Each structure stands twice: as structure tokens, then as C-alpha cells.
Amino acid sequence: MRMRHLAKFIVSWFLVIDAFTTASAQEINASDLLHHVATLSADSLAGRQTGTIGAAKARAYIIQQFKRIKLEPVFANFEQKFEFPIIQNSQNVIVTGCNLIGKISGKRKIGTILISAHYDHLGIMDGQIYNGADDNASGVAALLEIAHYFSQNQPGHDFVFCAFDAEEQNFAGSKYFVANRPFSIKSIDLNVNLDMISINPVKTLYIAGAFHYPFLETLLRDQVNSEKAIKVVWGHDKPELGKDDWTFLSDHAAFHRDHIPFLYFGVEDHQHNHKPSDIFENINQDFFLEASEFILSSLVVIDNKFVKNMH
């Protein structure tokens, strides 16, 4: 973390936590949520590019949190390793990535809901660190706190938590997982993907997926309509939108191609997107906390109401 911002960060962090704590009942621990983002987007992780020491540091932190939460490891030490080719200095190079997969067994054994967020980012380019606070330390932080909530409040469905690697490399991690998922979670009923949920100055969170799977909008209609702290908008999933169609722009794409329904929670592109300025100090902390709470409450509704083959 940049030292010149440290004092400002500490003050703003605790002001936001205090305001948020008094404004609403806590389901997500605000301090832990923000700590995850600050840790994963620190300079010491050098932008978390797949195959680098920074990515390994991010992975070690996420595994530590998975163990703290007491998730069940789906693979040894939660790690699903994979290889994929990239072009580097005009040469074909094989890079090793690593997905992290943990699970909470449901008490009613009524199906599997998979929550995903990618932990990789762009690394260092032209001597500048691309910290990726919003993209996507924010999604991973929310995933960790959602997992913690459900570890204390056992869901009816099996919940699988995937921190994917290599999203920035043409979604290599999620593609590998969908093609090589273990028998224990072969059947997946819904993917809920979190990617960029912490920067939006007008407090607007988008949900994509309902155009393809309309039953999901019906399922969450009351939840969306009752939201007061932030604005929640369905959209960014129609083919005629062109580049504004997010259907194939994050890890949920691999699930959609495999005919698995998805919901994608995210924000629109902003001034810090894929830039060195995507740092912890520039996230909208109050919006991020409220968006994370909304996603958690939506998952509670989904767990209670979603049944196999609704679509």
C-alpha cells in the first residue's frame, strides 16, 4: 500500500465502518471485508498476474482464509492447477495457473450453487503496478465474507466457492474448471459470479443473466425492488448491446456455454478500470459494503427459493 495514503486510508476506513455499522444490521464483517481488499491489492502482490510471485502470495492469503472459514477442500489444499499457453516476447510460453475451490455441504442436499470471483489481475506493465482493487480483489473479498456467513448459517444447497485464476488470460481458469470439474460437484445448478463490485459513484450495481434465464429475475424481484441503500439494475446481457453485453466478459461465460444458469454482479467500467489507479484508496467503501450485503441477502433468497430445473 502506498504509504502517502496510509493515514487517509485508516481514517476513512474506520469512519465508513462506523457509519455502516450503525446504519444497518451486520451480516458481513465490514472490517474484514475491507481488509481483504487492502491485502489483495497491496503493492507487495505486484498486481497478482497469473504465474507470478504476487499471484502465489494472493493464493496463500485466500487459502489461509478458506481454512479459517473451515471450507471443505475440493482438491488437496483447495488447489486445482492447470496449464495454458500464452505468447510472450513472440514466443509460445506455458503458464501454470491455480484455481482455489472450497465447499460448504448443504443440509437439505437439494442441489449445488457455485459462487465465483477471479483473484488474478494484470501484474506490472511499463514499470507500474496494476493493483486491481476493484478488479477483482473486491469480488474475492465479498466471496470470502459470504463464505464465512454460510459457514455459520448452513445453507440448504451445497455451496461451492471458486477463486478463479487467469480470468485476465481469456478466462483460462474458469474454462478449465468447467471442463474438468470433480465428480463431487459435477452437477451445478447456478453460478453466481462477482467481478468488480466496489467502484460506482452513483451507487449502481448491475445484475446480468436474467435475459438468458428469466426465472432468475422473478426469483429476486422482491429483493431488488426492496433495496434502498443502492440502486440495483438488471441488464448488460442482451446480444444487441454489443460491447455492453457482459454475457461473455467474465468467468460466468464458461458456465453459460455449458448451459448452466448464471447471475453476474458487477459495475460498469469506470475511470480506474484496467489502470494503475485501481487501488484500495479509490474504491467507494460505503457502496462496496452495501453491494456485498445485497449480494449476500440475494444468495439467502436463492438458497431458500431456488430449486433444480426452475428454467
Enter the C-alpha cell of residue 204: 449502481
DSSP secondary structure code for residue 88 in this structure = E
Residue located via cell numbers 459457514: 151
Residue bearing the bigger pLDDT, 13 or 270: 270
Q: How far is CA 160 from the centre of its chain?
A: 13
Helix (H, G, I), strand (E, B) or coil at 116: strand
CA separation for the pair 40, 57 (Å, rounded): 9
User: What are the strands, taking DSSP E only, across 144-252?
Assistant: 158-164, 190-194, 204-208, 231-234
CA separation for the pair 55, 48 (Å, rounded): 4
Q: What is the pLDDT of residues 141-159, one digit of tens each?
A: 999 999 999 999 999 999 9
Enter the C-alpha cell of residue 46: 505486484
- Decide if 187 contacts 272 (C-beta within 8 A): no
How many distinct helices (H) and strands (E) make up the chain? 8, 11
Q: What is the pLDDT of residues 21-69, one digit of tens each?
A: 333 345 899 999 999 999 999 999 999 999 999 999 999 999 999 999 9
Domains of the chain, earliest start first: 3-305 (3.40.630.10)
- pLDDT band with cut points at 50, 70 and 90 for residue 8: very low
Q: What is the pLDDT of residues 263-309, one digit of tens each?
A: 999 999 999 999 999 999 999 999 999 999 999 999 999 999 998 77
CA separation for the pair 119, 45 (Å, rounded): 11
Answer positive or negative: Cα dihedral of 186, 253, 37, 130. positive
pLDDT value, residue 218:
96
pLDDT value, residue 311:
66
- Decide if 207 contacts 295 (C-beta within 8 A): no
Helix (H, G, I), strand (E, B) or coil at 50: coil
Q: What is the pLDDT of residues 160-193, one digit of tens each?
A: 999 999 999 999 999 999 999 998 898 999 999 9
Residue located via cell numbers 466496489: 198
pLDDT value, residue 172:
98
CA separation for the pair 152, 166 (Å, rounded): 30
Residue type, 79: E
Alpha-helix residue ranges (DSSP H) falling in the chain:
6-23, 30-40, 53-69, 138-152, 172-179, 215-226, 252-257, 285-305
Q: CB neighbours (10 Å) of residue 35?
A: 14
